[in-house]
């Protein structure tokens, strides 16, 4: 009965919600005990009041929408570039040897370090913010893509060649289907990195967006709004990740997984 409940929709929902309930209770308890100066840690109730105020009387919805737009656009552009580059690096070993050090070099550079150059070359408009998010998404996704490709067992390729398949047929009918799980994993990784880079991207003279809201609040030491902005980014990122996870389960339902 217990296992059946855990596998039900309500059971999964409760299991997913429980850690957050515990976290909020711990947060409220920490605030109530005074172990942390209450002036430095607002209570959950205070943050909830700030949420309601910004939702009804300020522009929280607009800030959320602008941030989601930027993240999605940067993510999609990054993936559109990362998938073919990942295939190229994974399929051709000489190309991998040549490009791999370059990819790892740029992947190690934090996007925030590039902001001065982005401003110089692209100005302070929306394009600059999208480019920063594109940069973050591309280099995180391309690593996952080609690492996934080179781990595919060569047995499948040898069998296909034995059966008379051409390189194009091997690519389309063997490699492409087997890299779908890696594409979806790369998409999820790039999504997380994009949200983590959002605040840096919105340093570029953004007037709207969650990152901009956090930066403006920090100038006035408005901790309630800072907490709200951080929680909003986490919630939106989690919701988008859940959607991607459901899509992944649908498209790679044939893949065996460890655990129940």
Alpha-carbon gap, residue 100 to 143, rounded angstroms:
9
pLDDT digits (tens, 9 = 90+) for 27-43: 999 888 888 888 888 99
Q: pLDDT value at position 1? A: 45
Query: What value does the mean pLDDT take over residues 84-99?
Result: 82
Q: Where are the domains of the chain?
A: 59-251
pLDDT digits (tens, 9 = 90+) for 178-235: 888 888 888 888 999 999 888 888 877 677 888 888 888 888 889 999 999 999 999 9
pLDDT score of 238 more than 60: yes
What pTM, to 2 d.p., does this model score? 0.82
Q: pLDDT value at position 114? A: 84
Q: pLDDT value at position 226? A: 93
Q: Which of 9-18, 66-75, 104-113 has the lowest mean pLDDT?
A: 9-18
Q: pLDDT value at position 3? A: 52
Q: pLDDT value at position 9? A: 63
Residue 69 pLDDT class (50, 70, 90 cuts): very high
Which residue has tokens 């595919």? 152
Q: pLDDT value at position 254? A: 54
pLDDT digits (tens, 9 = 90+) for 129-184: 899 999 999 988 888 888 777 777 778 878 888 888 777 777 777 777 788 888 88
Query: What value does the mean pLDDT take over residues 52-80?
Result: 91
pLDDT score of 255 more than 60: no
Tell me the backbone φ, ψ of residue 103, rounded to 5 degrees. Answer: -60, -45
Q: For domain 59-251, is the CATH number 3.30.700.30? A: no
pLDDT score of 82 more than 60: yes
Q: pLDDT value at position 25? A: 92
Q: pLDDT value at position 8? A: 60
pLDDT score of 6 more than 60: no
Q: pLDDT value at position 260? A: 47
Radius of gyration for the chain, computed over Cα atoms and rounded to the nearest angstrom: 22
What is the residue-averaged pLDDT of the chain? 83
């Amino acid at each position: 009965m217990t296992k059946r409940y855990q596998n039900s929709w309500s059971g999964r929902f409760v299991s997913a919600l429980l850690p957050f309930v515990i976290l909020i209770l711990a947060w409220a308890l920490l605030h109530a005990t005074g172990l942390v100066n209450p002036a430095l840690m607002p209570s959950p109730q205070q943050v909830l009041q700030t949420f309601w105020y910004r939702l009804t009387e300020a522009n929280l919805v607009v800030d959320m929408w602008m941030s989601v737009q930027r993240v999605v656009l940067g993510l999609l552009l990054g993936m559109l570039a990362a998938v073919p580059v990942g295939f190229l690096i994974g399929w051709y070993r000489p190309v991998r040897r040549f490009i791999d050090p370059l990819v790892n070099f740029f992947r190690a550079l934090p996007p925030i370090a590039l902001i001065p150059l982005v401003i110089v070359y692209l100005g302070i408009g929306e394009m600059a913010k999208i480019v920063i998010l594109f940069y973050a998404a591309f280099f995180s996704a391309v690593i996952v893509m080609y690492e996934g490709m080179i781990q595919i067992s060569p047995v499948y390729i040898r069998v296909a060649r034995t059966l008379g398949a051409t390189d194009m047929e091997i690519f389309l009918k063997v490699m492409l289907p087997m890299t779908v799980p890696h594409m979806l994993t790369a998409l999820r990784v790039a999504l997380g990195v994009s949200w983590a880079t959002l605040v840096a991207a919105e340093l570029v003279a953004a007037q709207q967006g969650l990152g901009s809201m956090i930066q403006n609040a920090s100038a006035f030491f408005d901790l309630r709004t800072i907490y709200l902005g951080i929680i909003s980014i986490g919630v939106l990122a989690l919701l988008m990740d859940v959607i991607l996870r459901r899509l992944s389960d649908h498209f790679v339902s044939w893949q065996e997984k460890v655990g129940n």
